[in-house]
Structure 1
Amino acid sequence: MNKEITHSSEIRVRFAECDPLGIVWHGNYIQFFEDGREAFGRHHGISYLHQKANNFSTPIVSSKCEHRLPLRYGDVATIKATYIDSPAAKMIFKYEILNPEGNVVCTGETVQVFVELEGNLSLILPDFFRQWKIKMGLLNV
């Protein structure tokens, strides 16, 4: 049984993220996913800085984004980032972005792999990530 861990954060849509009609340009939703993923990492102790301190980076190898409704300049949106547990050496996140009324604006998913800072792909769970999964109740000791 896969366990999911979620964290919600908010962003305010900036003028620079919008097209001339004041609607968020579609490519910025991937950045919003990253904002949610970074907030998740800081909240749950698995931030990019933590990964780097353990000699790893986690590049994205797959991303998916589905648009339903627009966000507009000045909107405060909620980003729900959900970590989807996997036995493989990768991080899977699903996202929901909600508008101020609570309607789903966009959904998506990203997959990240573990790469040592020297450039080697890790096919097994890095120790720091294994320890994080134990702490989060995703692995039994």
Structure 2
Amino acid sequence: MENYFISTREIQLYYADTDMMGVIYHANYLKFFELGRTGFIEDLGYSYLAMEESGYFAPVYDVQATYKKPLRYGDRGFVQTWVELNDGIKTVYGYKVVNGDDEICVEGKTTHIIVKKDNFRPTSFKKAFPEWFLKYEAIKIK
């Protein structure tokens, strides 16, 4: 069996997150992706804050989302997160947002690069955080 890892976080859905149609507004899924990614990293024992304190950022380079079924206020929502690609330069996180019945509402991906905090120049994740890189290699979906 593959050795991949998927993190799951429950999403708090607020009335303020809805649009005029009474469904969760599409842009809020980017916040849900961030909730999932941050939880994923924490589950592995790492932290964005520690990355920043060591002089680096991991900005979003690309984002993709496919909307399949609406989430509504009052629903339960969960974000599942995993690593799809980790090539030493960029990392691609995969996401599924599901409702309380485990139906897929949104699927997506974000691509991140590592940049130096002082000049925003890209740098190698593999060189800047070798242990973290190797952990992702061990648990990414193959």
Instruction: Indicate whether the TM-score tops 0.5.
Output: yes
Checking the alignment, whether the CA contact within 8 Å between 2:113 and 2:125 is kept in structure 1 is no
> Aligned residue for 1:102?
102
CA distance, structure 2, for counterparts of residue 137 and residue 111 of structure 1: 14
SS of the aligned residue for 1:10 comes to strand
* 1:125 matched residue in structure 2: 126
Partner-residue secondary structure (3-state), 2:50: helix
2:137 aligned counterpart, secondary structure: coil
Does 1:61 pair with 2:69? no
Say which SS state the counterpart of residue 110 (structure 1) adopts: strand
Counterpart position of 2:81? 81
Distance 2:98 2:90 in 1: 26
Q: What letter corresponds to residue 131 of structure 1 in structure 2?
A: E
Q: Which consecutive aligned stretches of 4+ in structure 1 deviate over 3 angstroms post-superposition?
A: none
C-alpha contact (below 8 Å) 1:7/1:39 kept by paired residues: yes
Q: What's the offset of the Cα at 1:99?
A: 0.6
* 1:115 counterpart SS class: strand
Kindly state the Cα deviation for residue 15 of structure 1 after the two structures are TM-superposed.
1.0
Tell me the C-alpha RMSD between the 2 structures.
2.0
Identity of matched residues, %: 24
Rate the CA distance shift 1:31–1:124 in 2: closer, same or farther, 3 A: closer
Indicate conservation of the 8 Å contact 2:58/2:113, yes or no: yes
Relative to structure 1, is the Cα distance of residues 38 and 62 closer, same or farther in structure 2, using a 3 angstrom cutoff? same
Equivalent residue, structure 1, for 2:45: 45
Deviates further, 19-28 or 97-106: 19-28
Could you tell me how far apart the structure 1 residues matched to 2:103 and 2:125 are? Answer: 38
**Aligned pair in 2 of structure 1 residues 28, 124: CA closer, same or farther (>3 Å)?**
closer
Change (3 A) 1:3 1:89: farther
1:11-30 residue pairs with structure 2 within 5 A?
Answer: 11-30=11-30
Deviates more, 1:5-14 or 1:59-68: 5-14
What CA distance in whole angstroms lies between the structure 2 residues aligned with 1:88 and 1:3?
Answer: 19
Do 1:5 and 1:84's aligned partners in 2 also have CA atoms closer than 8 Å? no
How far residue 103 of structure 1 moved from its aligned partner, in angstroms, is: 0.3
Distance 1:8 1:23, change over 3 A: same
The count of aligned residue pairs is 136
- Say whether the 8 Å CA contact 2:78–2:97 is kept in structure 1: yes
Mind listing any 5+ residue stretches in structure 2 that lack a counterpart?
A: none
